[in-house]
Amino acid sequence: MACPIPLRVNLRRISSARPQNFRPAAPIRRSFLTLPGSELITLKETRILPYESSSLYTLIADVDRYSSFIPYCQESRVTRWSEPDTKGKRWPEQADLKVGWGGFEETFTSKLNCVPDTIVEALGGDAVPAVPKQQSLGRLSRIESPAINNNIFKRLSTRWTVKPLSGHATSTAVRTEVNLAIEFQFSNPIYGSLSKAVAPKVAEIMIEAFEKRAKLLLNKQG
Protein backbone atom coordinates (compact mmCIF):
# COMPACT_ATOMS: atom_id res chain seq x y z
CA MET A 1 0.00 0.00 0.00
CA ALA A 2 3.02 2.28 0.24
CA CYS A 3 3.61 2.24 -3.52
CA PRO A 4 0.97 4.82 -4.61
CA ILE A 5 2.59 7.60 -2.58
CA PRO A 6 5.90 7.83 -4.45
CA LEU A 7 4.01 7.23 -7.68
CA ARG A 8 1.94 10.38 -7.10
CA VAL A 9 5.08 12.31 -6.22
CA ASN A 10 6.76 11.23 -9.46
CA LEU A 11 3.74 12.25 -11.45
CA ARG A 12 3.72 15.69 -9.89
CA ARG A 13 7.41 16.09 -10.70
CA ILE A 14 6.88 15.07 -14.28
CA SER A 15 3.90 17.37 -14.71
CA SER A 16 5.82 20.27 -13.15
CA ALA A 17 8.60 19.74 -15.70
CA ARG A 18 6.25 19.67 -18.71
CA PRO A 19 6.08 23.44 -19.30
CA GLN A 20 9.83 23.53 -19.89
CA ASN A 21 9.40 21.19 -22.84
CA PHE A 22 7.24 23.73 -24.67
CA ARG A 23 9.49 26.80 -24.39
CA PRO A 24 11.81 26.04 -27.38
CA ALA A 25 9.04 27.23 -29.73
CA ALA A 26 10.23 30.85 -29.49
CA PRO A 27 13.87 30.17 -30.50
CA ILE A 28 12.60 28.22 -33.51
CA ARG A 29 10.75 31.31 -34.72
CA ARG A 30 13.78 33.54 -34.14
CA SER A 31 16.10 31.19 -36.00
CA PHE A 32 13.90 31.48 -39.10
CA LEU A 33 14.73 35.18 -39.29
CA THR A 34 18.43 34.41 -39.57
CA LEU A 35 18.25 31.78 -42.28
CA PRO A 36 21.16 31.88 -44.76
CA GLY A 37 20.35 34.50 -47.36
CA SER A 38 19.09 37.21 -45.02
CA GLU A 39 22.47 38.23 -43.58
CA LEU A 40 24.65 41.11 -44.81
CA ILE A 41 27.47 39.88 -47.07
CA THR A 42 30.66 41.80 -47.90
CA LEU A 43 32.97 40.72 -50.73
CA LYS A 44 36.19 42.21 -52.12
CA GLU A 45 38.42 41.46 -55.10
CA THR A 46 41.51 43.14 -56.56
CA ARG A 47 43.31 42.87 -59.89
CA ILE A 48 46.42 44.53 -61.33
CA LEU A 49 45.85 45.14 -65.04
CA PRO A 50 48.28 46.40 -67.72
CA TYR A 51 46.08 49.25 -68.96
CA GLU A 52 45.67 52.98 -68.39
CA SER A 53 43.41 53.75 -65.43
CA SER A 54 41.33 56.19 -67.50
CA SER A 55 40.59 53.48 -70.09
CA LEU A 56 39.56 51.00 -67.41
CA TYR A 57 37.38 53.59 -65.73
CA THR A 58 35.56 54.28 -68.99
CA LEU A 59 34.70 50.58 -69.27
CA ILE A 60 33.43 50.46 -65.68
CA ALA A 61 31.28 53.57 -66.13
CA ASP A 62 29.73 52.17 -69.34
CA VAL A 63 26.73 50.80 -67.44
CA ASP A 64 24.63 50.45 -70.59
CA ARG A 65 26.99 47.64 -71.68
CA TYR A 66 26.92 45.64 -68.44
CA SER A 67 24.43 43.12 -69.79
CA SER A 68 26.86 42.21 -72.57
CA PHE A 69 29.61 40.93 -70.28
CA ILE A 70 28.58 40.72 -66.60
CA PRO A 71 27.08 37.32 -65.67
CA TYR A 72 23.48 37.31 -64.37
CA CYS A 73 22.91 40.85 -65.69
CA GLN A 74 20.34 40.40 -68.45
CA GLU A 75 19.51 44.04 -69.18
CA SER A 76 21.15 47.35 -68.28
CA ARG A 77 19.96 50.83 -69.19
CA VAL A 78 21.04 54.23 -67.89
CA THR A 79 17.95 56.34 -67.18
CA ARG A 80 19.56 59.54 -65.93
CA TRP A 81 22.81 61.32 -66.72
CA SER A 82 24.79 64.02 -64.95
CA GLU A 83 25.38 67.53 -66.19
CA PRO A 84 28.59 67.83 -68.24
CA ASP A 85 31.76 68.02 -66.13
CA THR A 86 34.65 70.41 -66.77
CA LYS A 87 35.69 68.30 -69.76
CA GLY A 88 32.17 68.16 -71.18
CA LYS A 89 31.70 64.51 -70.17
CA ARG A 90 28.39 63.25 -68.78
CA TRP A 91 28.28 60.33 -66.34
CA PRO A 92 25.47 57.92 -65.39
CA GLU A 93 23.48 58.80 -62.27
CA GLN A 94 20.72 56.18 -62.35
CA ALA A 95 20.13 52.88 -64.16
CA ASP A 96 17.63 50.04 -64.42
CA LEU A 97 19.19 46.58 -64.18
CA LYS A 98 17.54 43.23 -64.81
CA VAL A 99 19.16 40.24 -63.13
CA GLY A 100 18.31 36.57 -63.33
CA TRP A 101 19.39 33.33 -61.69
CA GLY A 102 17.83 30.04 -60.66
CA GLY A 103 14.78 30.62 -62.83
CA PHE A 104 14.05 34.03 -61.25
CA GLU A 105 14.22 37.40 -62.99
CA GLU A 106 13.93 40.80 -61.32
CA THR A 107 14.44 44.40 -62.41
CA PHE A 108 15.63 47.05 -59.97
CA THR A 109 16.78 50.65 -60.08
CA SER A 110 20.27 51.57 -58.94
CA LYS A 111 21.63 55.03 -58.16
CA LEU A 112 25.13 55.71 -59.44
CA ASN A 113 27.81 57.88 -57.90
CA CYS A 114 30.77 58.61 -60.18
CA VAL A 115 34.07 60.29 -59.39
CA PRO A 116 35.70 60.55 -62.85
CA ASP A 117 38.72 58.30 -63.42
CA THR A 118 38.55 57.01 -59.84
CA ILE A 119 35.27 55.58 -58.48
CA VAL A 120 31.98 54.17 -59.73
CA GLU A 121 29.54 53.39 -56.94
CA ALA A 122 26.13 51.76 -57.48
CA LEU A 123 23.53 51.81 -54.70
CA GLY A 124 20.29 49.94 -54.14
CA GLY A 125 17.90 49.42 -51.23
CA ASP A 126 18.86 51.36 -48.09
CA ALA A 127 22.55 51.69 -49.03
CA VAL A 128 24.06 55.18 -48.70
CA PRO A 129 27.00 56.74 -50.59
CA ALA A 130 30.49 56.06 -49.30
CA VAL A 131 32.20 58.60 -51.57
CA PRO A 132 33.44 61.56 -49.48
CA LYS A 133 31.88 64.92 -50.28
CA GLN A 134 35.25 66.46 -51.07
CA GLN A 135 35.68 63.97 -53.92
CA SER A 136 32.37 64.80 -55.57
CA LEU A 137 31.88 67.32 -58.34
CA GLY A 138 28.74 69.19 -57.36
CA ARG A 139 25.68 67.81 -59.11
CA LEU A 140 27.79 65.34 -61.03
CA SER A 141 28.02 62.51 -58.57
CA ARG A 142 27.11 63.14 -54.96
CA ILE A 143 23.67 61.68 -54.24
CA GLU A 144 22.59 62.49 -50.70
CA SER A 145 19.22 60.74 -50.68
CA PRO A 146 18.91 57.03 -49.84
CA ALA A 147 19.00 54.56 -52.68
CA ILE A 148 15.79 53.40 -54.32
CA ASN A 149 13.94 50.49 -52.72
CA ASN A 150 13.54 47.29 -54.72
CA ASN A 151 12.15 43.79 -54.31
CA ILE A 152 15.48 41.96 -54.36
CA PHE A 153 17.92 43.75 -52.11
CA LYS A 154 17.43 45.28 -48.72
CA ARG A 155 20.86 46.77 -49.28
CA LEU A 156 23.21 46.76 -52.25
CA SER A 157 26.45 48.68 -52.68
CA THR A 158 28.86 47.98 -55.53
CA ARG A 159 32.00 50.10 -55.56
CA TRP A 160 34.68 50.04 -58.27
CA THR A 161 37.93 51.91 -57.64
CA VAL A 162 40.82 52.31 -60.09
CA LYS A 163 44.28 53.55 -59.12
CA PRO A 164 47.29 53.97 -61.43
CA LEU A 165 50.45 52.31 -60.12
CA SER A 166 53.93 53.75 -60.50
CA GLY A 167 56.25 51.43 -62.39
CA HIS A 168 59.80 50.56 -61.40
CA ALA A 169 62.52 52.99 -62.38
CA THR A 170 63.69 50.60 -65.09
CA SER A 171 60.21 49.87 -66.40
CA THR A 172 57.73 51.95 -68.35
CA ALA A 173 54.97 49.36 -68.18
CA VAL A 174 51.52 50.76 -67.42
CA ARG A 175 49.70 49.14 -64.53
CA THR A 176 46.44 49.93 -62.77
CA GLU A 177 44.97 48.49 -59.59
CA VAL A 178 41.26 47.70 -59.86
CA ASN A 179 39.33 47.11 -56.64
CA LEU A 180 35.77 45.83 -56.40
CA ALA A 181 33.87 45.91 -53.11
CA ILE A 182 30.33 44.54 -52.87
CA GLU A 183 28.01 44.69 -49.89
CA PHE A 184 24.53 43.21 -50.19
CA GLN A 185 21.64 41.86 -48.19
CA PHE A 186 18.64 40.16 -49.78
CA SER A 187 15.20 41.46 -48.86
CA ASN A 188 13.86 37.90 -48.86
CA PRO A 189 15.81 34.85 -47.58
CA ILE A 190 14.39 32.87 -50.49
CA TYR A 191 16.61 34.80 -52.91
CA GLY A 192 19.59 34.08 -50.71
CA SER A 193 18.80 30.38 -50.59
CA LEU A 194 18.45 30.20 -54.37
CA SER A 195 21.78 31.96 -54.93
CA LYS A 196 23.80 30.50 -52.04
CA ALA A 197 26.15 28.67 -54.42
CA VAL A 198 26.86 31.85 -56.39
CA ALA A 199 26.61 34.73 -53.90
CA PRO A 200 30.02 34.21 -52.18
CA LYS A 201 31.70 34.25 -55.60
CA VAL A 202 29.91 37.26 -57.11
CA ALA A 203 32.83 39.69 -56.73
CA GLU A 204 35.29 37.20 -58.24
CA ILE A 205 32.92 36.43 -61.12
CA MET A 206 32.34 40.12 -61.85
CA ILE A 207 35.97 41.19 -61.78
CA GLU A 208 37.01 38.24 -63.96
CA ALA A 209 34.32 39.20 -66.47
CA PHE A 210 35.58 42.79 -66.40
CA GLU A 211 39.18 41.64 -66.91
CA LYS A 212 38.12 39.67 -70.00
CA ARG A 213 36.23 42.71 -71.25
CA ALA A 214 39.30 44.90 -70.82
CA LYS A 215 41.52 42.43 -72.68
CA LEU A 216 39.01 42.18 -75.52
CA LEU A 217 38.61 45.93 -76.05
CA LEU A 218 41.86 47.49 -74.87
CA ASN A 219 44.23 45.00 -76.48
CA LYS A 220 42.63 45.90 -79.81
CA GLN A 221 43.41 49.56 -79.19
CA GLY A 222 47.03 48.70 -78.43
Q: What is the pTM of this model?
A: 0.74
Asked, for residue 65, whether it belongs to a domain, the answer is: yes
Asked, for residue 110, whether it belongs to a domain, the answer is: yes
Q: What is the pLDDT of residue 27?
A: 44
| Domain extent at residue 91 | 36-221
User: Residue 99 corresponds to which amino acid?
Assistant: V
Which domain CATH number covers 179? 3.30.530.20
Asked, for residue 166, whether it belongs to a domain, the answer is: yes
Q: What is the pLDDT of residue 199?
A: 78
Asked, for residue 111, whether it belongs to a domain, the answer is: yes
Number of domains in the chain: 1
Neighbour-count burial of 153, counting CB atoms closer than 10 A to its CB (0-12 exposed, 13-18 middle, 19+ buried): buried
Q: What is the pLDDT of residue 23?
A: 52
Asked, for residue 3, whether it belongs to a domain, the answer is: no
Q: How far is CA 206 from CA 2, 67, 70, 212, in A?
A: 78, 12, 6, 10
pLDDT along the chain (222 residues), means of 10: 44 47 46 56 95 97 96 94 91 92 81 94 83 52 50 85 78 89 84 74 94 94 64
Asked, for residue 180, whether it belongs to a domain, the answer is: yes
Q: What is the pLDDT of residue 106?
A: 83
The dihedral sign for the CA sequence 92, 73, 123, 55:
negative
Sheet with 119-125: strands ordered across: 41-49, 175-186, 153-165, 119-125, 104-115, 92-101, 73-81
Asked, for residue 74, whether it belongs to a domain, the answer is: yes
Q: What is the pLDDT of residue 2?
A: 46
Asked, for residue 26, whether it belongs to a domain, the answer is: no
